[in-house]
């Protein structure tokens, strides 16, 4: 009977230690998940910031300035535009 | 009968202890255990919630989960406003340990004087102090790299407007807490804001979250808002307006572009505006969207409505001749004059030449109630059906209080007021065969239905008159644009100061449509107090109209309806034998 009790006592101790270990491991993994989630959120915001930055680099104001200054381009006017119809190569330009 | 208990066999140690004592001890112990049991039941069962709550208060922390504010997009899905991370720098003065070199570096990164930073860091009365809110993320990283004890970063979100000044008066702004305080940001604040979430967690001694407790309330992200604005048209309208305001040394200017087919606002620009990054320093005049919130006397641009009513009632035809000589008419003791006297003019010519006398003669044949009804039906004196804060209703007094001279002056746009948006909206009647379509600043998914105000025949007649007015011999030949037929009306009005008209302060405006046969856009331009010599609407506002129409129709893919001399030169490949 005593042996059985000792065995039970050892089993209880082992279970206790195992529970503590599992709890520790669970918290460690939870912290990892939290860190990853935080990283996801950070990357999402970085992505949003980059999208805004990309948009800021492509505003009509900047494009027009670069086109005029660097590429010597000018605004398209009807006089230098050839109008074509969808799905046809016919020149339907301005009414004559 | 035993009266005592013997605890030893030695007679020397024998003492006579009464039995009741041991019984008393046993009873006391039983009572003690009973009390403990009662207390255990109290803690575990009866007041369990209370003790649980008290326990949680001591180790559970509630974290706010901020909701992202929705983006504002243009009609093509391009970003007009978005929230990005902008860390704020704070400190606990009593914990701060900083060297002089680091203080100088910190002040430089914060773009603040060293003395100011030092003062904030040495304010021991406070346990928390903001050094600077919403700094650039790269600067924040550099500040963090300094590793100053007692100085911390906190992530906040800043609203960014990549289109800058071109949309600032329309967008308004959101404050550091992410709350809309002006323009579209305020008008749609509820939908854009979303809902902050929260969760309860247990943190370890290092401040790391180690366990969730209870239910999580996830944040609800704000909805994205897609406006009807086309960012390219908006930019070109703003650019042309800015150039005109600067050229004519005007106080301000506004331009509105409406899509005649859908009723959507394609552009709504004002100038001057101030950079949205310095919102805190702006006053009301700099923040408001003048095209929507400011009213003015529309002047001659109202003549078309008087003429339309006269045609609609059958009082005149476009070719009816009205004598306008000698260029003045007296109504109720007041004399109304033409800026340039004419002789007999047809109704079409009256609009083309913008004759006050001719319009007054038409107006005096009508009932004041008819005129009022016309003005009311096209939206004057009523708040526009747009979602925007602080929109003006304008003023059209009840017709019963009109005196004859007031009826006369209202026929050519004095004595009543409207905003530029109202004026542009009213002109859609002529562009849509007499229909008035509801406006929208949000992109429409459904086709809006118009309400008939005048007959298609009258609308067509007025369109022809507007085309004449913008042609040679009209008041605004500068409204013409290459490739597209246009029609419109100028307005030049004295600025009302107090109860009198300022002698040398004017407001030049132009409202028109293009292409005239099948209008696609209505554009209204207003230049306030030009002071560089020119002030007529045909000189200061019509050129802005011309350039805005040109760019708008090109962006919308509308083919020119006028013949244009081609200037395209193609390089021919050399022929081979």
Kindly report the three-state secondary structure assignment for every residue of B145-168: HHCCECEEEECCEEEECCCCHHHH
Is residue B456 within 8 Å of B433, Cβ to Cβ? Answer: yes
Is residue B263 within 8 Å of B386, Cβ to Cβ? Answer: no
Counting one residue from chain A and one from chain B, the pairs whose CB atoms sit within 8 A come to 94
Inter-chain touch B564–A61, beta carbons under 8 Å: no
Q: Which member of B88, B169, B231, B300 is catalytic? A: B300
Please name the residue that has the structure tokens 């037929």: B485
Inter-chain touch A55–B564, beta carbons under 8 Å: no
**How many of the other CB atoms lie within 10 Å of CB of B153?**
15
Backbone CA torsion sign across B435, B392, B520, B490: positive
Mean pLDDT of B489-494: 88
Predicted confidence band of residue B274 (pLDDT cuts 50, 70, 90): low
Q: Are strands B4-5 and B17-18 parallel, antiparallel or unpaired?
A: antiparallel
* Alpha-helix residue ranges (DSSP H) falling in B490-534: none
- B275: pLDDT strictly greater than 90: no
Cβ within 8 Å of residue B77, ≥6 positions away? B226
Report pLDDT for B423.
96
For residues A89 and A38, the model is more confident at: A38
3-state SS class at B415: coil
How many Å apart are CA B294 and CA B292, to the nearest integer? Answer: 6
Which residues from B are below 8 Å from A48, CB to CB? 82-84
* Mean pLDDT, all residues of chain B: 88
Q: Are strands B72-73 and B225-226 parallel, antiparallel or unpaired?
A: parallel
Which residues from B are below 8 Å from A27, CB to CB? 204, 210-211
Cβ within 8 Å of residue B187, ≥6 positions away? B172, B180, B387, B388, B389
CA–CA min distance B338, chain A (Å): 38
Predicted confidence band of residue B59 (pLDDT cuts 50, 70, 90): confident
Predicted confidence band of residue B568 (pLDDT cuts 50, 70, 90): low
Is residue B432 within 8 Å of B459, Cβ to Cβ? Answer: yes
Inter-chain touch A95–B563, beta carbons under 8 Å: yes
Terminal-to-terminal C-alpha distance of chain A = 114
Tokens of B373: 């009804």
B53: left (phi over 0), alpha (psi -120 to 50) or beta: alpha
Question: What are B160's strand-pairing partners?
Answer: B82
Is residue B422 within 8 Å of B379, Cβ to Cβ? Answer: yes
For residues A82 and B459, the model is more confident at: B459
- B61: pLDDT strictly greater than 60: yes
Q: What is the pTM of this model?
A: 0.81
Q: Are strands B435-436 and B451-452 parallel, antiparallel or unpaired?
A: antiparallel
Tokens of B515: 């292409």
Predicted confidence band of residue B279 (pLDDT cuts 50, 70, 90): low
Is B348 assigned a catalytic role?
A: no
Inter-chain touch A52–B483, beta carbons under 8 Å: no
Inter-chain touch A59–B164, beta carbons under 8 Å: yes
- B484: pLDDT strictly greater than 50: yes
Report pLDDT for B278.
54
Mean pLDDT of A72-79: 84
User: What is the percent of chain B with per-residue pLDDT over 90, rounded to a whole number?
Assistant: 53
Q: pLDDT tens for residues B414-467?
A: 889 999 999 999 999 999 999 999 999 999 888 788 899 999 999 999 999 999
Return the closest-CA partner of residue B491 out of B302, B248, B291, B275: B302
Q: pLDDT tens for residues B387-418?
A: 999 899 999 999 999 999 999 999 999 889 99
Backbone CA torsion sign across B230, B245, B298, B431: negative
Inter-chain touch B137–A49, beta carbons under 8 Å: yes
Report pLDDT for B283.
53
Predicted confidence band of residue B17 (pLDDT cuts 50, 70, 90): confident
Report pLDDT for A95.
32
- Please check whether residue B166 touches A, CB under 8 A: yes
For residues B32 and A83, the model is more confident at: B32
**How many of the other CB atoms lie within 10 Å of CB of B414?**
21
* Residues in B 59-118 with any Cβ partner in A closer than 8 A: 78-79, 82-85
How many Å apart are CA B467 and CA B477, to the nearest integer? Answer: 10
3-state SS class at B304: helix
Is residue B325 within 8 Å of B444, Cβ to Cβ? Answer: no
Return the closest-CA partner of residue B294 out of B252, B258, B330, B265: B252
Q: pLDDT tens for residues A16-72?
A: 999 999 999 998 998 899 899 889 988 988 888 899 999 989 988 889 889 999 999
Nearest Cβ partner for B162 among A46, A55, A76:
A55
Is residue B173 within 8 Å of B181, Cβ to Cβ? Answer: yes
- B518: pLDDT strictly greater than 80: yes
Length of chain B: 577
Predicted confidence band of residue A87 (pLDDT cuts 50, 70, 90): low
User: What is the percent of chain B with per-residue pLDDT over 70, rounded to a whole number?
Assistant: 94
Mean pLDDT of B255-266: 95
How many Å apart are CA B577 and CA A91, to the nearest integer? Answer: 29
Question: What are the strands, taking DSSP E only, across B86-179?
Answer: 88-91, 129-132, 151-154, 157-160, 173-174
């Amino acid at each position: 009977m005593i042996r059985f009790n000792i065995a039970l006592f050892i089993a209880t101790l082992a279970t206790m230690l195992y529970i503590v270990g599992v709890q520790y491991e669970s918290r460690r993994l939870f912290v990892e998940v939290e860190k990853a989630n935080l990283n996801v959120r950070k990357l999402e915001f970085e992505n949003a910031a980059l999208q805004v930055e990309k948009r800021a680099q492509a505003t009509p104001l900047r494009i027009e300035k670069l086109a005029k200054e660097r590429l010597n381009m000018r605004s398209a006017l009807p006089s230098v535009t050839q109008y074509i119809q969808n799905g046809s190569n016919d020149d339907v330009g301005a009414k004559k | 009968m035993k009266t005592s208990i013997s605890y030893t066999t030695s007679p020397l140690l024998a003492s006579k202890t009464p039995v009741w004592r041991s019984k008393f001890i046993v009873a006391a112990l039983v009572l003690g255990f009973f009390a403990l049991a009662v207390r255990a039941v109290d803690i575990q069962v009866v007041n369990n919630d209370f003790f649980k709550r008290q326990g949680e208060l001591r180790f559970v922390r509630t974290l706010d989960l901020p909701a992202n504010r929705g983006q504002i997009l243009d009609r093509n899905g391009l970003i007009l406003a978005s929230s990005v991370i902008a860390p704020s720098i704070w400190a606990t003065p009593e914990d701060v340990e900083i060297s002089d070199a680091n203080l100088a570096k910190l002040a430089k990164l914060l773009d603040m004087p060293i003395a100011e930073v030092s003062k904030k860091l040495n304010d021991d009365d406070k346990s928390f102090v903001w050094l600077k809110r919403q700094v650039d993320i790269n600067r924040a990283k550099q500040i963090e790299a300094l590793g100053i004890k007692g100085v911390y970063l906190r992530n906040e979100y800043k609203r960014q407007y990549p289109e800058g000044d071109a949309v600032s008066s329309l967008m308004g702004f959101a404050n550091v807490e992410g709350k809309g305080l002006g323009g579209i940001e305020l008008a749609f604040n509820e939908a854009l804001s979303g809902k902050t979430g929260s969760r309860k967690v247990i943190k370890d001694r290092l401040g790391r979250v180690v366990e969730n407790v209870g239910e999580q309330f996830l944040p609800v992200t704000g909805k994205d808002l897609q406006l009807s604005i086309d960012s390219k048209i908006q930019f070109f309208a703003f650019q042309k307006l800015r150039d005109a305001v600067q050229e004519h040394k005007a106080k301000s200017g506004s331009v509105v572009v409406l899509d005649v087919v859908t009723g959507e606002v394609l552009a709504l620009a004002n100038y001057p505006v101030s950079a949205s990054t310095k919102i805190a320093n702006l006053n009301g005049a700099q923040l408001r969207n003048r095209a929507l919130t400011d009213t003015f006397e529309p002047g001659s641009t109202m003549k078309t409505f008087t003429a339309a009513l006269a045609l609609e009632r059958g009082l005149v035809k476009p070719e009816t001749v009205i004598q306008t000589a000698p260029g003045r008419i007296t109504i109720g003791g007041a004399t109304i004059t033409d800026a340039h006297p004419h002789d007999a003019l047809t109704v079409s010519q009256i609009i083309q030449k913008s004759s006050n006398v001719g319009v007054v003669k038409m107006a005096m044949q009508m009932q004041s109630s008819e005129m009022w009804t016309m003005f009311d039906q096209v939206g004057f004196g009523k708040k526009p059906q747009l979602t925007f804060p602080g929109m003006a209703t304008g003023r059209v007094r009840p017709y019963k209080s009109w005196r004859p001279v007031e009826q006369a002056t209202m026929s050519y746009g004095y004595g009543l007021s409207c905003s530029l948006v109202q004026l542009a909206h009213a002109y859609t009647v002529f562009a849509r065969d007499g229909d008035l379509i509801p406006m929208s600043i949000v992109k429409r998914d459904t086709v809006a239905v118009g309400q008939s105000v005048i007959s298609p025949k009258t609308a067509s007649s007025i369109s022809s008159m507007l085309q004449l007015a913008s042609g040679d011999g009209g008041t605004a030949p500068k409204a013409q644009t290459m490739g597209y037929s246009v029609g419109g009306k100028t307005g030049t009005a004295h600025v009302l100061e107090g109860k009198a008209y300022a002698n040398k302060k004017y407001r030049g405006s132009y409202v028109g449509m293009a292409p005239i046969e099948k209008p696609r856009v209505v554009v209204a331009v207003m230049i306030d107090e030009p002071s560089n010599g020119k002030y007529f609407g045909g000189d200061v506002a019509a050129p802005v109209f011309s350039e805005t129409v040109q760019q708008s129709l090109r962006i919308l893919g509308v083919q020119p309806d006028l013949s244009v001399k081609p200037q395209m030169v193609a390089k021919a490949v050399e022929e081979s034998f």
